[in-house]
Structure 1
Amino acid sequence: MAIPWGTLKSLLIFFGPILLPKALSYYRSVRAAPRIQGLKVRPLPRRIRLAISLLLLTAGFFLLLTLPPFSPEHIFRLTQSRLQIPADVLFTRLASLRPHNTLTPTDLALRAKFASLESRLVYLHLGPSTVATCPFCTSDDPRSYLYYFLPELLAPHLANLAVVTAATSALLTRDDPRGVAGWRAPAALAAAALALADLYLVAAHDHAANARALRLAEIDSFYWTARAARYAALAALDAGLAALCYLTGTQRAFVRPPAPAERLEAVVRGLGGVKGKINAAGVVKNTVLRDEELRGRCNAYWAHEVRLMREMMEDREVVEGVNDALLNRIDIAGIERDAEAYAKAVLMPSGEGRAATEEVVG
C-alpha cells in the first residue's frame, strides 16, 4: 500500500531537524577519522581499482537492462489493446506488427493461454516467458506460475551476489585487508536482503486487481515495473559498494585503524631502517677518515665552507637582516632553553634522556 505524500512530508518535517544534524555529524566524524588516526590519502591500489571497475561494469549492465529496448514485449501496450480484448483480435493486431505477418512460437503459446482471463492477469504479474513456457502451470493454480518464475527472479540476485563477493574477495582486497575486505559481509547481507524483499513483493502482489481494468491506461504492468526496479536497485547496490571501496581504498573514510601489534611492528621496522642508515653513515665516515685522499678532500670542503660562510656573514645586508631578526623576530632565550634541554637529554642516561627528549620534541 502506497504511503500518501502528505504523510511523508509530515514525517520529514518532524524527523528532519533531528536526523539531519546527526547525519552531518556522523559524516564529518567518518571523514575526519583517518586523519585523526594518522592515515593519509593515498592513490587507489591497482587491485582495488579492478574491484571497483567490476562493480561499475555490473551496475552499468543492470542499468542497461532497465531500458525499453532490452525489456520483454508488452503485447497490450504494443497493440494498444485493453485487457478484455478477444484473443483472436489481439493476436491479429500483433501479427500485423510482425515481419511477414507471422507470429513467433512465443506468440502462439500465449495465444493458446490467453483464452482465460486468469492467464492474462498472470501475464501482467509474472511476464510473458513464464506464461508461455511453463510446462506444468495451469490457470486454476496461479501459484504454480510463481514457482516457475522463481529462477528468473533470483538469477540476477545470485549473479550480483557472485560479483559482490568476487569484488570483495581476498584476491582483490589484498592491498587493503582492513578496509575494502570489511565490506564483504555487509554487502552480501544487503544483496540477500534485496533478494528477499523482491521475492516478498512479487509473491504478495495481488494480480487479480487488474481484472477491473477496463482501459489500457488502467492496467498495472507489475512485471515490467518490478523488473526495472529490480535492476535499478541492483545497480544502486553495486554503485554504492564501489563508492565505499573507493573511500576505504584511498583512506578517505571508513578506514579501521591498525591493530596495536601492527603499529608496534611498523615502529620496530622503522627503527630498524633508521639503525641501518646510521650504521651505513658510520661506515662511510670511518672510510673517509681512514683514507688520506678522502680525508684531505673532506677537510678542503669544510675549509671552503667556513670561508664562504664568513664572507657571507660579512656582507652588510646579511648582517643587518640577522640583527633585525635577532632583535625583533626570534625568541633567543627560548631557543637557548630548548638547546640546553636537548643537550642535557642527549647526555643523560638512557631512561631520563628519552623522557626529556620526548618533552623537548613535544
Structure 2
Amino acid sequence: MATVAISWGTVKSLLIFFAPVLLPRLITAYRSLRVSIASRPPPRPLPAAPARALNILFGGIVFFLLLSLPFNPHAPDSNIFSLTRSRLNTPTDVIFNRLARLRPNNLLTEADKLLQSKFISLGARKVYLTFGPDALVSCPYCSFDDLNTYLMYYLPFNVLLPHLVHLLLLGVATSAPIAGPESSRWRNKFTIGGLVLVAIDIYIVATYDAIQGAPLSVRAGQTPPSSLYNHITFLRPLAFVLYDVVCSVVLWLSATNRFFFKPPSPVDQVDQATSMAMQGVMSANSKLHAANVTRNAVVRDPTLKNRDDLYWRTMAASENPAQGSGEGGEQILNNIWEEEDVVRAISRAMAGQTGIDLAQLGVNANDHVREITEGLD
C-alpha cells in the first residue's frame, strides 16, 4: 500500500495560509468561553419543569428498552436460516423440513406454509432477510422485479411509525407549557437529531443488500445468513434509548446551570422583573385586604372596640400624662419614658456603655425616613 508523506514545508505553507483566518476565530471562541464560564451562576437544584421533562424521557427510555429485548411480546420471529442452520442456497424443502422438526407435533403452521410458498427464488430470500416475512407474504402490490416496492411497504409501519412516536416523545418533553423554557430551548436541536436518526435508518434499509453485503462465507454457502430485519428491529429502539439518555443528560446539565448555561435575554429579564413586581403588588394587596378585614372585625365587635379605644387612649396619655385616668374609671398607664429603668437604660445608651453606635443608628433612621417621605413635598 502506497503511503503519502507530508513534508514540514507543506505544513508550514498550510499554516501560513490558514492561520490569519483561523487564529482570530479561535481567540474569539476562547474569550467567549471564558466569559461564559465566568458569568455562569453556581449550580442549582433541578427545577420542577425540567424534572417533568426528565420523567417523560425516563418513561420513554424504559419503554424503548423493553422493545429492544428479544423476549418482548412484539419481537419478530427468529431468522429461519439461523434457526435451521441452513445456508443461503439450501433448497426450500430442506429448510422447511428442518423447521417442521422444531414446531409442535413436527408440523408447520399456516404462517410457515404461506412463507414456504413465497420462498421461490433468491430474490424472495433477499426480501425476507431485508424486510422480514410480513413484507414477503402480505404485500399485495410488490414485485421481485422492483424491490423498492417492498421498501415502500416496509417503511410506514416499521420505520416511520416508531420514529414518529419517538419524535412525539421528544416534542412533549421539550414543550414549554409542560417542561418550561429550560427544556424548550433544546426542542429544535433534539428534533433535528431525531430526524437524523430517521434518515440514517431509511438509508440503511434502502441501501442494504442481503447478498452482496453479506460476508464472503455467507455468499460462498458456508454459514447461515443473518437477517437485517431482525437486527434492526432490536437496534432501532436501542438507538432511541441511547439518544434519549444523551438528551436527558443535556437537559439536566443545562437546567442545573452545570453546563450549557445561557444568560437570559433582555426580554426575559424584563419579564422576570415584571413578574416579581406583580407578585409584590399582589402580596401587598392581599396583606392590606387582610388588615382591612381585621379592622372591620375589631370595629364591629363591642369588646374588641373598647380594648382598641383603650389602647389608643393609653398611647395618647403617654404623650400627655396630665390627662389622668380614662373614661369609666379605667386607670391609664403612665408614660413609659418616665419609668426609672427606662431612664437608666437611656442614660447608659447615651454614654456609649451598651455598644450601640448611635451615630450610625441616626444615619440609618434618617435614611429610612427619607425613603418613606420621598416624593411627598
Scaled by the length of structure 1, the TM-score of the pair is 0.64
Quote the residue 1:52 is aligned against: 54
**Residues in 2 aligned to 1:63 and 1:127: alpha-carbon distance in whole angstroms:** 22
Within a 5 Å distance, the mapping from 1:33-182 to structure 2 comes to: 33-35=40-42, 41-45=44-48, 48-70=50-72, 71-72=75-76, 73-151=78-156, 152-173=158-179, 176=180, 178-182=181-185
Q: CA deviation at 1:228?
A: 2.8
Letter in 2 for 1:193: V
**Residues in 1 aligned to 2:259 and 2:282: alpha-carbon distance in whole angstroms:** 30
Letter in 2 for 1:292: T
1:214 to 214, 221, 225: 221
Once the two structures are overlaid, the 10-residue window that deviates more, 89-98 or 123-132, is 123-132
Answer yes or no: is 1:193 the counterpart of 2:196. Answer: yes
Contact 1:30 1:254 in 2 (8 A): no
- For structure 2, the residue ranges without an aligned partner over 5 or more in a row are 1-25, 295-307, 319-332
**Residues in 2 aligned to 1:298 and 1:221: alpha-carbon distance in whole angstroms:** 100
**Residues in 2 aligned to 1:272 and 1:250: alpha-carbon distance in whole angstroms:** 30
Answer yes or no: is 1:183 the counterpart of 2:204. Answer: no
Letter in 2 for 1:94: L
**Residues in 1 aligned to 2:276 and 2:145: alpha-carbon distance in whole angstroms:** 73
**Residues in 2 aligned to 1:106 and 1:297: alpha-carbon distance in whole angstroms:** 106
* 1:265-324 Cα shifts (integer Å, max 9, x gaps): 2553476589789999x999xx89836389869959x9989989999xxxxxxx9xx9xx
**Residues in 1 aligned to 2:111 and 2:173: alpha-carbon distance in whole angstroms:** 38
Contact 1:66 1:231 in 2 (8 A): yes
- CA 1:240–1:342 in structure 2 vs 1: closer, same or farther (change >3 Å)? farther
- CA 1:148–1:348 in structure 2 vs 1: closer, same or farther (change >3 Å)? same
Letter in 2 for 1:290: W
**Residues in 2 aligned to 1:88 and 1:205: alpha-carbon distance in whole angstroms:** 27
Q: CA deviation at 1:103?
A: 2.0
Once the two structures are overlaid, the 10-residue window that deviates more, 202-211 or 71-80, is 202-211
**Residues in 2 aligned to 1:277 and 1:299: alpha-carbon distance in whole angstroms:** 35
- TM-align CA RMSD: 4.7
**Residues in 2 aligned to 1:297 and 1:168: alpha-carbon distance in whole angstroms:** 69
Contact 1:82 1:216 in 2 (8 A): yes
Identical aligned residues as a percent = 30
**Residues in 2 aligned to 1:77 and 1:310: alpha-carbon distance in whole angstroms:** 103
**Residues in 1 aligned to 2:38 and 2:84: alpha-carbon distance in whole angstroms:** 54
Once the two structures are overlaid, the 10-residue window that deviates more, 153-162 or 251-260, is 251-260
| Structure in which a larger fraction of residues adopt helix | 1
**Residues in 2 aligned to 1:116 and 1:304: alpha-carbon distance in whole angstroms:** 113
Q: CA deviation at 1:158?
A: 0.9
Quote the residue 1:261 is aligned against: 270
- CA 1:305–1:127 in structure 2 vs 1: closer, same or farther (change >3 Å)? farther
Find the residue that maps to 1:190 and give its secondary structure: helix
**Residues in 2 aligned to 1:214 and 1:191: alpha-carbon distance in whole angstroms:** 39
**Residues in 1 aligned to 2:269 and 2:363: alpha-carbon distance in whole angstroms:** 30
Find the residue that maps to 1:69 and give its secondary structure: coil
**Residues in 1 aligned to 2:271 and 2:198: alpha-carbon distance in whole angstroms:** 38
Contact 2:79 2:226 in 1 (8 A): no
- CA 1:270–1:149 in structure 2 vs 1: closer, same or farther (change >3 Å)? closer
Quote the residue 1:315 is aligned against: none
Q: CA deviation at 1:48?
A: 4.4
Find the residue that maps to 1:68 and give its secondary structure: coil
**Residues in 2 aligned to 1:304 and 1:278: alpha-carbon distance in whole angstroms:** 37
* 1:7-41 Cα shifts (integer Å, max 9, x gaps): xxxxxxxxxxxx9xx99x96995797243xxxx62
**Residues in 2 aligned to 1:29 and 1:292: alpha-carbon distance in whole angstroms:** 62
Find the residue that maps to 2:178 and give its secondary structure: coil
Letter in 1 for 2:223: L
Quote the residue 2:321 is aligned against: none
Letter in 2 for 1:234: F
- For structure 1, the residue ranges without an aligned partner over 5 or more in a row are 1-18, 312-318, 327-334, 354-362
Contact 1:180 1:249 in 2 (8 A): yes
Q: CA deviation at 1:246?
A: 3.5
**Residues in 2 aligned to 1:62 and 1:269: alpha-carbon distance in whole angstroms:** 44
Find the residue that maps to 2:89 and give its secondary structure: coil
- CA 1:310–1:195 in structure 2 vs 1: closer, same or farther (change >3 Å)? farther
* 1:195-250 Cα shifts (integer Å, max 9, x gaps): 01211121122333147241226x34322333333211111222233333444455
Answer yes or no: is 1:346 the counterpart of 2:373. Answer: no
**Residues in 2 aligned to 1:135 and 1:31: alpha-carbon distance in whole angstroms:** 64
Q: How many aligned positions are there?
A: 297
